[in-house]
């Protein structure tokens, strides 16, 4: 077996974007740049490799959106099992010791926050930010093998939800006052609807 080394970035992008309409939100442009490319650009300076989890049918559009960037794709073997399955697929594709995980609809996560999460996670199972008094599953840094175990546990013994993965992982929680030093609240919002996209475009 190869030793666990380095840092990976995992972008979870295999969802159906049902609240967004008939377009895959990951490829929609925010200030002229595809959303998924913004996510990768934010992760890349903090990691050694980028892995994009997706459905097979999404891959051509993602390859076009990420043209010129060094990324690998981890396709879901079974479709429509939710973000925990996508996270597990992405984590299975790396030999890194730790991975930063971000959803494809979070285009403003700053590199500095990702770096801080890596530092906080060192020697622990992971690190997640606290926003509004709640632990957030994304963005986060997880110990890869611990993350895989937590994903499996969430599927086998619970309901397969991201919050359950966080519960099982029991990561370091970065308090909101610290998170705010790196990112405002808008930077950590998901873009789920056209209204969210409009607000994001105004923000930029």
The average confidence (pLDDT) of the chain is 88
Higher pLDDT, 156 or 71: 71
How many Cα atoms within 13 Å fall on the side-chain side of residue 94? 34
Tell me if 142 is assigned to a ligand binding site: no
Mention every residue, 6+ apart, whose C-beta is less than 8 A from residue 67. none
How is domain 7-202 classified at the CATH fold level?
A: Spore Coat Polysaccharide Biosynthesis Protein SpsA; Chain A (3.90.550)
What does the chain look like in DSSP terms, one character per residue? -PPP-SEEEEEE--S--TTT-SS-GGGSEETTEEHHHHHHHHHGGG-SEEEEEE-GGGHHHHHHHTTTS--EEEE-SSSS--HHHHHHHHHHT---SEEEEEETT-TT--HHHHHHHHHHHTTSSEEEEEETTEE-SSSEEEEHHHHHHHHHHHHHHS---HHHHHHHH-PEEEPHHHHTTT--GGGG----SHHHHHHHHHH-
12 is in an annotated binding site: yes
Any binding-site annotation on 202? no
Q: Dump pLDDT digits (tens) for 86-139.
A: 999 999 999 999 999 999 999 999 999 999 999 999 999 999 999 989 999 999
Is 14 annotated for ligand binding? yes
Q: What is the per-residue pLDDT for 181?
A: 95
pLDDT band at 2 (very low <50, low <70, confident <90, very high): very low
Residue with more model confidence, 20 or 196: 196
In this prediction the pTM is: 0.90
pLDDT tens digit string along 135-182?
999 999 999 999 999 999 988 877 778 999 999 999 999 999 999 999
pLDDT of residue 117: 97
- The pLDDT of residue 137: 92
Contact 50, 71 (CB under 8 A): yes
Alpha-carbon span 178 to 180, nearest angstrom: 5
Could you state, in order of their start, the residue ranges of all structural domains in the chain? Answer: 7-202
25 is in an annotated binding site: yes
Q: Which of 15-29, 66-80, 90-104, 150-164 has the lowest mean pLDDT?
A: 15-29
Q: Is 96 annotated as a binding residue?
A: no
């Amino acid at each position: 077996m190869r030793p666990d080394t380095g840092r990976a970035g995992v972008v979870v992008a295999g969802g159906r974007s049902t609240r967004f309409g008939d377009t895959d939100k990951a490829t929609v442009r925010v200030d002229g740049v595809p959303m998924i490319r913004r996510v990768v650009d934010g992760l890349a300076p903090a990691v050694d490799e980028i892995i994009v989890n997706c459905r097979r049918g999404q891959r051509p559009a993602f390859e076009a959106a990420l043209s010129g960037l060094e990324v690998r794709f981890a396709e879901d073997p079974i479709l429509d099992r939710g973000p925990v399955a996508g996270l597990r697929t992405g984590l299975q594709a790396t030999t890194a010791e730790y991975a930063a995980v971000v959803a494809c609809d979070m285009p403003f996560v700053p590199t500095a926050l990702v770096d801080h999460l890596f530092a906080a996670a060192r020697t622990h199972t992971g690190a997640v930010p606290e926003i509004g008094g709640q632990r957030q599953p994304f963005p986060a840094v997880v110990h890869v093998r611990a993350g895989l175990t937590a994903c499996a546990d969430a599927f086998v013994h619970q309901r397969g939800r991201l919050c359950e993965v966080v519960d099982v992982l029991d990561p370091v929680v970065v308090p909101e006052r610290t998170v705010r030093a790196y990112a405002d609240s808008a930077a950590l919002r998901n873009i789920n609807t056209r209204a969210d996209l409009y607000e994001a475009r105004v923000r930029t």
